[in-house]
Amino acid sequence: MLFARNRVSILAAPIDVLTWDKALEQLFGWVTHHESRYVCICNVHSVVTASQDSAFKEVIANADMATPDGAPVAKLMRLLGYVGQQRINGPDLMWRYCEQAQYRDESVFFYGNSDESLAILKTKLLTAFPTLKIAGAFSPPFRALTTEEDEAIVTQINASGAGLVWVSLGCPKQEYWMAEHRGRINAVMVGVGAAFDYHAGTLKRAPLWMQHNSLEWFYRLLSEPKRLWKRYLITNTLFMVKAFKQLLVARLG
C-alpha cells in the first residue's frame, strides 16, 4: 500500500511532510496488510548524522516514512515553506497508535530495551489501554546477535502475528536494524528511541512547555550530562550551522 509522498531534504535527510492524522492512517494501512515496512523518527541527531554518514543517509532515504521528530527539525521545515508542519515524535506516535489499536483486531510487539523496562511498559500500556493486544516483547543483548539468534527473533515476531513492531535500540542502531529486517519481518517497524523508557517511567520526559519550545534536548542534557553532552552540545551546534546555511541558500535561490 503506497501513499503519495512529499519529502523535503533537511540537511541531507529526506523527511516526509506529514500531519498526525496522515501518519497514523498510513501506519494502520500498512499494518492491516502486514506489509514489511520501516519508519524512521528523525530528530536533530538523526539529520546531522545523515549529513556526515552516507550509509545512514541511505537508510533514512530508503525508509517508507521519515517523520520530523525533533522540534528544531519541524521548525526548519516550516521556515522552508512547509507552514504548519507538526512535530511527529516517537513517544507520542507510539502512545496515539496504541490508543487506537486497542479497538482494532491487531497486535503490537516490542523490541529493545531491558526486560525490566519492558515488563513495566507492558503493565503501563495495559493499564491505559486494557484491550490492547501485546503479541510479545524481546530484549536483545548489547552484543551483535548471531545469525541463529537473529533468525530466531525474526521467527518469533512473525509467529506472534504482530502487525507493528516498536523498536527501541537508540539511533542509529535501530534504524540499521529495521533496514536490515525489511522483507524478513512481516510487520511495520517503527524506531522510537527512548519511548519505552518514557512510557515505563524509567526516564522522565521534559515538561510540555519545554517540548513545545524546542528545549526537550536541554532537559535530557541536564538529566544525563556525562552521556549526552557531546550529542547535544556538538550535534546541536552543527545542526544550527547547517540549518542556517540551508535557509540562506533557500532564500537566495
Give residue-wise pLDDT tens across range 155-194.
999 999 999 999 999 999 999 999 999 999 999 999 999 9
pLDDT, position 84: 92
Q: How many Cα neighbours within 13 Å face the side chain of 48? A: 20
Residue 172 CA to residue 56 CA, distance in Å, equals 8
Please state, in angstroms and rounded to a whole number, the distance separating the CA atoms of residues 131 and 47. Answer: 36
Under the banding of pLDDT at 50, 70 and 90, the label for residue 123 is: very high
Report, as an integer, the average pLDDT of 56-71: 96
pLDDT tens column, 226-241: 776 676 678 889 999 9
pLDDT of residue 131: 96
Quote the pLDDT of residue 126: 97
Residues 101/132, Cβ–Cβ less than 8 Å = yes
Residue 127 has pLDDT above 80, yes or no: yes
- Range list of β-strands (E), the chain: 7-10, 13-16, 37-42, 65-68, 107-112, 133-138, 164-168, 188-191
For residue 22, pLDDT beyond 60: yes
Positive/negative CA dihedral, 61, 64, 68, 69: negative
CA distances from 103 to 1, 33, 124 (A): 22, 17, 17
20/146 Cα distance (integer angstroms): 38
On average, the pLDDT of the chain sits at: 92
Q: Which helix (H) or strand (E) holds 201?
A: none
Distance CA 27, CA 16 (A): 14
Alpha-carbon span 145 to 181, nearest angstrom: 13
Mean per-residue pLDDT, 43-60: 96
Bigger pLDDT: 209 or 80?
80
pLDDT at 2: 59
Per-residue pLDDT, 170: 92
pLDDT score of 206 more than 90 = no
Beta strands (DSSP E) in 13-150 are 13-16, 37-42, 65-68, 107-112, 133-138
Rounded Cα–Cα distance for residues 9 and 21 (Å) = 22
Residues 6+ apart with CB under 8 A from 52: none
Query: Which residues, in sequence order, are CB contacts of 139 under 8 Å at separation 6+?
Result: 112, 113, 114, 115, 117, 118
Q: Tell me, what DSSP letter sits at residue 63?
A: S
pTM: 0.91
Q: What's the chain's length in residues?
A: 253
Confidence of residue 213 (pLDDT cuts 50, 70, 90): low
- Among 2-6, 62-66, 96-100, 210-214, the range scoring the smallest mean pLDDT is 210-214
